[in-house]
Amino acid sequence: MSFSTEAAHFRDALSAEFYKVRRRRMTYILLAVHCALVLLFYFILFMQIRDGPSHRRNGLSEWLALRNAMSTLNVVPYGFALERFFATLVCVIFAGTMMGNEYDWRTVGVVTSRGVRRWHFLAAKVVMDVAFVIVVATIGFLVAVACSLWWSNLYDLSYGTWDWARLWDIVSSLARTVFVIIPFVFMALAFATTWRSAGQAVGASLGAYFIESIFTGLLNRAQDSWLSHIPDGLININGDAIMRANGIFSGEGGGGPFIFGPGGAPLWRAALVLAAWIGGFVVLVFWQFQHRDIQE
């Protein structure tokens, strides 16, 4: 088959996948939920700030740090840190159900028995997953920007300067955030293909996402043992290292939830580890989908 025919068939698969995503109510529900979560988060912090500083030691500095973190000046590191958490939840559900439902509904067999190449079908899903992560992270970030503008206006905080350098900072931070989210998205895709089920894929991927942090905390306690090095190869700790490149909060009193302090794994190693996880999941999902029976 010629390259142009192959490309045309892949374009058809992409067009069909986009049609499904566009017509699916779940897509819009997930986007709305994501925006609502970001709004809710800012609202909860607003309620917390409105109550004033606590009487604990460092209460005032913590209160000021949190208030400043949520200003437009700090929206890039703070907004994307929020995005990383909420967008991962939403995108894992999207990817797991996108593939798993094809098995649950048995539509995958209908498509492949009509002559659609398996890898075209799957690659179209991979492209849509990545596109969805970008869309979710962008929209969520815009919501965060809107909240931070309101916040800065309310407390007369700095908006920062809006120039090309800042735009570039936003674009590169978006790219880093998407890169950090994608391993879990592809994990959901791989689980959905392995177990031929949406529910199991979403459950296992979200479980891994949350349990990994607990697991990492426990292993880090084993300071001098080889066990303490295991987290270096896991996803979240390397994701944190990448997210630090979006900007860290070094002010006194910390920065409240989702703000990273200095330290952590070197950026190059973190990028390599995450790329390895992404590559591993992609290889697993394509190998399984190409070689196994569509239905048992």
Of the candidate spans 7-15, 32-40, 73-81, 213-221, the one that interacts with another protein by CB under 8 A turns out to be 7-15
105 in contact with another protein (CB under 8 A): yes
Contacts with another protein: how many residues (CB under 8 A)?
A: 27
Q: Which is nearer to another protein, 97 or 173 (CB)?
A: 97
Q: Which of 31, 73, 111, 275 binds another protein (CB under 8 A)?
A: 111
Of the candidate spans 58-66, 104-112, 174-182, 274-282, the one that interacts with another protein by CB under 8 A turns out to be 104-112
Q: Which of 3, 4, 23, 214 binds another protein (CB under 8 A)?
A: 23
4 in contact with another protein (CB under 8 A): no
296 in contact with another protein (CB under 8 A): yes
Sequence-separated contacts (24+) of 117-124 with Cβ below 8 Å: 117/9, 117/13, 118/289, 118/290, 119/286, 119/289, 119/290, 120/9, 120/10, 120/12, 120/13, 121/13, 121/289, 122/193, 122/285, 122/286, 122/289, 123/10, 123/13, 124/10, 124/13, 124/14, 124/16, 124/17
Q: Which is nearer to another protein, 117 or 154 (CB)?
A: 117
Q: Which is nearer to another protein, 27 or 236 (CB)?
A: 27
Q: Which is nearer to another protein, 106 or 166 (CB)?
A: 106
25 in contact with another protein (CB under 8 A): yes
Distances 49 to 75, 133, 261, 263 between C-alpha atoms, Å: 17, 31, 21, 28
Q: Which is nearer to another protein, 17 or 62 (CB)?
A: 17
Q: Alpha-carbon dihedral of residues 245, 91, 21, 171, nearest 10 degrees?
A: -10
20 in contact with another protein (CB under 8 A): yes
Q: Which is nearer to another protein, 70 or 116 (CB)?
A: 116
Instruction: Give the count of beta carbons closer than 10 Å to the beta carbon of residue 131.
Output: 14
Distances 76 to 230, 249, 256 between C-alpha atoms, Å: 30, 11, 15
Instruction: Restricting to residues 115-144, name those near another protein by CB under 8 A.
Output: 115-117
114 in contact with another protein (CB under 8 A): yes
Q: Which residue has the tokens 């970008």?
A: 134
Of the candidate spans 16-24, 127-135, 236-244, 255-263, the one that interacts with another protein by CB under 8 A turns out to be 16-24
Q: Which of 2, 4, 113, 161 binds another protein (CB under 8 A)?
A: 113
Of the candidate spans 36-44, 111-119, 140-148, 250-258, the one that interacts with another protein by CB under 8 A turns out to be 111-119
199 in contact with another protein (CB under 8 A): no
Q: Which of 110, 167, 211, 227 binds another protein (CB under 8 A)?
A: 110
Of the candidate spans 21-29, 50-58, 260-268, 280-288, the one that interacts with another protein by CB under 8 A turns out to be 21-29
Q: Which residues bind another protein (CB under 8 A)?
A: 1, 12-13, 15-16, 19-20, 23-25, 105-107, 109-117, 291, 293-296
